Structure 1
């Protein structure tokens, strides 16, 4: 299931700077969540396994089954929406996993994703939105008048934004030092930028769901791109400082305004 991955010199330098203890492993299959039995094979490469569990009280009654399983006692690595590169601290030392689908990923972008994982590990941030929001995930669920899958998607996006604010300065510092990785970061942002300004219009016309628009906008924060309202309010140091409380309040205010705007339109 797992094999040690070879790193280029510049990616190895990022690892040494931010997460020198981290192991990097290629996986033989693609996955959203690695089955517990397969995940335990990580024990062949690490000193110890420490599966995380979270209180069921953090979850609303209709939470997606994948999130319920993640909070439970089974050793769970990876979740839907995690992307091509996944990291976990449920092992000692921590592990960065490269999914099988990385085989089709351009080398420069994959190396950026690996480097991003090391920078994220170095922040000490929780590895998933559930231990980020903790019990306030229920508050987010109450603030978002959408189904459980949409709440999940918005929570993951908000966590991504919160983490992106903290990591983007490290990416920017690569200019002139690690030019290949810096250019990959810039290029990834350029690919997002063209659609950002039109997101509110897409949502208003029903062309894009609010949850998908939130995911797209939040993914742009780590690239230091200008966001349209209401997503621009997330790009602030106050979000880093207040974390889940800020994210929940943003959701409350955003949906209150969306509801008020809809009522105003209907009354015309």
Structure 2
């Protein structure tokens, strides 16, 4: 199920700077959330396991089952929306898991995803949006009013955007470092590929071609690439969001969904 992945010199250097000691593991099978038995098998590769848990009061009554499981004392690694590369601090040392779905992607892009995971690990921020919103997740749920799955998707997107406000400062420095210039190019190339889609988001939502939760996910994913965002997402690409985090995100959701209801 698991096999240690070799790293290129630039990616290894990023790990040593931001997440020294983190293990990188290739997974044999794809997953959104690792089955419990396989998650426990990670204990054979690390010194210890430390599952996160959160109070039941932080969850709306209709929260998705997987979110309730994540909040419990069960070891839950990987959640919907995590992407092709997943990191966790529920192990000692931390682990970065690479899903087989990355196969076929350009190698420079995979290298960027790995480097991004190490930079995020180094921020010492929660590994999931529930640790970001905490008890205010129920406030976000009330603001969104689109059902539990859409609320989950929007919450995950908002947290991804908040992380991107911080990680992009590191990514932007890679162009100036000879040993990481290729990673900087990959970061920039990934952003360039998003620009046209992001620029059309407001019109796509207005036409009904794109669901608002999907639009939020794409817009927030673009924040890490320093792409200009259309309204109403541009309000998330601000120092105010970086500094005020969940409170700002909830206020943005309240204003945005009030406007959509008019």
- TM-score (normalised: structure 2): 0.97
Matches within 5 A, 1:159-238: 159-177=159-177, 178-238=180-240
- TM-score (normalised: structure 1): 0.95
Structure 2 equivalent of residue 263 of structure 1: none
Structure 1 equivalent of residue 158 of structure 2: 158
Q: Deviations over 1:114-133 (max 9, x none)?
A: 00000001111100001111
* SS of alignment partner, residue 174 of structure 1: helix
Using the TM superposition, give the Cα deviation of residue 88 of structure 1 relative to its aligned residue in structure 2, in angstroms: 0.3
Q: Which runs of 4+ in 1 moved over 4 A?
A: none
Using the TM superposition, give the Cα deviation of residue 176 of structure 1 relative to its aligned residue in structure 2, in angstroms: 3.5
Show structure 2 runs of 5+ residues with no match: none
Structure 2 equivalent of residue 104 of structure 1: 104
- The Cα RMSD (Å) is 0.8
Distance 2:248 2:25 in 1: 35
Using the TM superposition, give the Cα deviation of residue 104 of structure 1 relative to its aligned residue in structure 2, in angstroms: 2.1
* SS of alignment partner, residue 86 of structure 1: strand
Distance 1:56 1:193 in 2: 39
Distance 2:147 2:43 in 1: 37
Distance 2:70 2:226 in 1: 31
Structure 2 equivalent of residue 18 of structure 1: 18
Q: Deviations over 1:213-261 (max 9, x none)?
A: 000000000000000110000011111211111100000011112222x
Matches within 5 A, 1:1-268: 1-177=1-177, 178-260=180-262
Structure 2 equivalent of residue 265 of structure 1: none
Using the TM superposition, give the Cα deviation of residue 173 of structure 1 relative to its aligned residue in structure 2, in angstroms: 0.4
Distance 1:21 1:58 in 2: 32
